[in-house]
A = this chain, B = another copy of it.
Amino acid sequence: MKLWITTIIAAATFAVTSTPQASQLDLNNDLAYQLVESLTVEVGPRLAGSEADARAVAWAEQKFKQLGFDKVWSEPFTMQYWERGNASLRVEAPFNQALVLTALGGSVGTPFDGITSQVIMFDNLQQLQQADPASVKGKIVFINQTLRKDIRGGFYGQVVGARAQGAVEAAKQGAKAIIIRSVGTSNNRFAHTGIMRYQDDVTRIPAAAISVPDAQQLSKILAINPEARLSLHMQNNLPGEVTSHNVIAEITGSKRPDEIVLISAHIDSWDEGTGALDDGAGVGIVMATAALLKKEQPERTIRVVLFGNEEGGLIGARAYAARHAANLNNHVFASESDFGAGRVWRFDTGFGEQALAFGAQVQQQLKHLGIEAGTNTASGGPDVSVLKAQGVPVATLQQDGTDYFDYHHTPNDTLDKIDPAALQQNLQAWLIMTRAIANSQVDLRK
């Protein structure tokens, strides 16, 4: 499938550069899809710090070179490695049955013989925090909070606290372990993983998630028999420090090569799916965007950064910000694609006041793709938020995330969940936005 998008792109060029060129960009229509397919099939799951992560880094370097980028390199950083082991959860007699469980990223395991205990259920993290410690002591805490769907994934922030902080709060109350209802919106029987945190002065207890149907099942079992006991077995490896990498590639700017327009995604994924939506799609979109713009010789440098270990807590992004601290002033813009492969529906900026008129021009060029004007409070994306905190101007091409948390962080995040047409709409939006900024002289900080 090839398309001439000359008319689309020409409009963008005309509006925002002082020297519009009649562009004849031959858009290879499925390059973004080809890239995410190649990454998910040939590398597959790529947990940060694993052997597969190293293969993903090598894959990215090789693809950037094949695509004709001017510079390609990787930047090492150190990180704490965590590896999933076996995990199982059973309800004991009289309703003896297995529940579908997955360890949360970073969790310690149980003793080899497991943890067998009564359960105490809470509706949310706040309720756990306010509980009488006597009622929690020695038990397995179960937080049964439902994530609601919406286009922005706006409820995720309210619910994910139980995943990130639950183990600390449960341990403070004397619990032996914590299980949470998956922070997901599907009733498919997959448990959602994701990073969790310990605190130095609080006992480290095992933390895991059960699928939505299993959370419903457990709450029904507890309604019939509040004394029901669970038996949890989990073995995880925390071998310590390893090295991972951010992968970086540039199309050197033809007029203002020192000015860096940074577009990004993250190369790592959770280990159970192939990371097609999170974040293979983003990898495909931003690699294809820069590769396709190369022919036009953009005025500013387009730098693609594939951050490592986003999932572990923006570890690659923090390393990038530290390493490039002296040069962040030359980062004229940054953005990340990391919300799946749904269509872009809104353009949000994080620009200085004077640059808002330019932002409005860009949105006008995106309008035919069904993209609305948004706010000036964009984060730029998870990794890019670290750069925003250092003053780098950002924008977010907001994707429709209605179904994102159906798949996110589960074994079910696989290539078949990507709609190629929606991915292509993303690519078009990124081409328009990136081109406009790369060919502009506007200072987005101001």
Q: Hey, which chain B residues are within 8 Å of A41, CB to CB?
A: 95, 217, 220-221, 224
Cβ–Cβ contact B414 & A42, under 8 A: no
Q: Hey, which chain B residues are within 8 Å of A273, CB to CB?
A: 189
Q: Decide if A412 is an interface residue (CB 8 Å cutoff).
A: yes
Q: Decide if A44 is an interface residue (CB 8 Å cutoff).
A: yes
Give chain A interface residues in 392-419, CB to chain B under 8 Å. Answer: 411-412, 414-417
A51 to B97, CA, bound (A): 11
Of B51, B95, B100, B415, the residue contacting A42 (CB under 8 A) is B95
Give chain A interface residues in 356-394, CB to chain B under 8 Å. Answer: none
* Interface size, A (range): 35 or more
Copies assembled: 2
Q: Hey, which chain B residues are within 8 Å of A42, CB to CB?
A: 94-95, 221, 224
Q: Decide if A52 is an interface residue (CB 8 Å cutoff).
A: yes
Q: Decide if A28 is an interface residue (CB 8 Å cutoff).
A: no
Cβ–Cβ contact A216 & B95, under 8 A: no
A40 to B94, CA, bound (A): 13
Q: Hey, which chain B residues are within 8 Å of A414, CB to CB?
A: 189, 213, 217
- Expressed in whole angstroms, the minimum distance between the Cβ of A368 and any Cβ of chain B is 31
Cβ–Cβ contact A43 & B95, under 8 A: yes
Q: Hey, which chain B residues are within 8 Å of A415, CB to CB?
A: 213, 216-217
Q: Decide if A243 is an interface residue (CB 8 Å cutoff).
A: no
Residue of B nearest to A221 (CB): B41
Cβ–Cβ contact A274 & B44, under 8 A: no
Cβ–Cβ contact A96 & B51, under 8 A: yes
Q: Decide if A37 is an interface residue (CB 8 Å cutoff).
A: yes
Known: A45-B97, A55-B96. 12 other contacts (CB 8 A): A41-B224, A42-B95, A44-B96, A97-B274, A188-B188, A189-B273, A189-B414, A212-B416, A213-B414, A216-B415, A216-B416, A217-B414
> What are 22 inter-chain pairs, A to B, with CB distance below 8 A?
A37-B220, A41-B217, A41-B224, A42-B95, A42-B221, A43-B97, A44-B91, A44-B95, A44-B217, A45-B98, A52-B96, A52-B97, A55-B94, A55-B96, A188-B412, A189-B273, A189-B412, A213-B412, A213-B414, A213-B415, A216-B415, A217-B274
